[in-house]
Amino acid sequence: MRRLPRFLLVPVIALAFAAPAMAWGPEGHAMIADIAQAHLDPAAAAQVRKLLALEGDTHLDQVSSWADAIRRDQPQTGPWHYVDIPLADRHYHAARDCKDSDCVVARIPYFAHILADRSASPARRLEALKWVVHLVGDIHQPLHAEDDHDKGGNDVKLDYFGRHTNLHRMWDSAVIEHALHVHVNRDYTFDHQVMRDRARKLDADITPAERLKWAPQSRDLHKDAVRWADGSHALARGVAYADLPPASKRTHGWSKRYQAEAWPVIKQRLQKAGVRLAAVLNQTLG
Ligand code: ADE
Ligand code: ZN
Ligand code: ZN
C-alpha cells in the first residue's frame, strides 16, 4: 500500500498504556466515537463542535483516548475505567464492586451530569465530554466488567496468533486488529481515515431494529450503566473465559477458532457502545 502523507497520521498524544491494559485500544475508542458522532442530533452536534473547538479538535475520535493518556499523571482515575464484578457472580453490586463511586458504572452518570450543566465552565464540560466518550466505550468491553483475581484478564498470559499477550489485551485490541486489518503504531498514532472508514462499515451493519433495541431504556443513566456492565459481564463469563482452552493449550493452534467466536461479540459491543454514546450525548446536550 502507498505510504500515507504524514499529516493523516494524527497523534493520539503519547498514550500511557502502561501495563496492565486500561481500555479498549485507541482503535476501539475511535470507532465508537465515530459511530456516535454520525448519529448526533443537530443541537448535540453543535455543542460537541463548540466544546471540541476549545482545544482545536473537530472529531470525537480525537479525544476518545484522552482518559488513557492522562492516567499516568492521575493514577487515582485508573479504577474509573472498569468495574471488577467477580467472574463467579452474575450481577453488579454497588456496595461490593463500586466503593466510593470509584468505578465506570458510577463515573458515567457523574461526568454526564457535569456535561449537562450549562453553568459549569466550558473547560470543565469539555473534560466531562472526554470522559463520557471514553467510559461509555470501556463499559462495553466485556473484560472491563469482571475480575477473576487476574486484573480483568491482564494476568492471563497467552500467545495469540503467534504473539505474547494477555486475555485483556486480546479483547481491547488484538481481536479487532485481526478482524479489521487495522494497526496502531508503537507511539499510539494511527490512521484516522482508515479507522473512520471501518467505523462507517460497522455503523452501516446496524439494523434499525437493533438501533431501537439498544438505545437506553430509561432516563436514568445510572440504571442503564448497570445494565451495560451486567451485559459485558455476561459476555466475559459466557465467551471470553468460557471459550479459552486450558492453560497448557494457549500457545498455538487455538487463535483462529477463538477469533471466530470473539469477533462477532466484540463487533456488536463496539456497535452498541456507539449507538448508546450517541443517545447519551443527545439526551445530555439536546
Ligand atoms: N484492573 C483491575 N481490573 C481491571 C479490569 N477489569 N479492567 C482493566 N483493568 C483492570
Ligand atoms: Zn479506558
Ligand atoms: Zn482494557
pLDDT confidence of residue 253 = 92
Separation of CA 171 and ligand 2 centre (Å): 13
Grid coordinates of 219? 432516563
Q: What is the pTM of this model?
A: 0.92
Whether residue 194 contacts residue 9, with contact meaning beta carbons closer than 8 Å, is answered with no
pLDDT confidence of residue 20 = 55
Q: What is the pLDDT of residues 191-209, one digit of tens each?
A: 999 999 999 999 999 999 9
**What are the average pLDDT values for consecutive 10-residue runs of the chain, which has 286 residues?**
42 44 85 98 98 98 96 97 98 98 98 98 98 98 98 98 97 97 88 96 98 89 98 98 95 95 98 98 95
Which residues place a Cβ less than 5 A from the ion ligand 2?
Answer: 22-23, 81, 138
pLDDT confidence of residue 222 = 97
pLDDT confidence of residue 22 = 60
Q: Whose CA is nearest to atom 5 of ligand 1?
A: 152
Atom of ligand 1 nearest to the CA of 23: 8
pLDDT confidence of residue 11 = 45
The conformation of residue 218, written as its DSSP 8-state character, comes to: S
Separation of CA 98 and ligand 2 centre (Å): 16
Separation of CA 118 and ligand 3 centre (Å): 32
Separation of CA 26 and ligand 3 centre (Å): 10
Separation of CA 170 and ligand 3 centre (Å): 9
d(CA 277, CA 155): 30
Spacing of C-alpha 221 from chain mean position: 17
Domain at 23-67+96-285: CATH code: 1.10.575.10
Judged by its nearest atom, the ligand closest to the C-alpha of residue 168 is: 3
Q: Whose CA is nearest to atom 3 of ligand 1?
A: 151
Whether residue 92 contacts residue 229, with contact meaning beta carbons closer than 8 Å, is answered with yes
pLDDT confidence of residue 194 = 95
Ligand 1: list residues with CB < 6 Å.
20, 22, 82, 84, 143-144, 146-147, 151-152
Q: Where are the domains of the chain?
A: 23-67+96-285
Q: Output the CA–CA distances (angstroms, integers) from residue 75 to 78, 83, 284, in the order listed.
A: 5, 16, 28
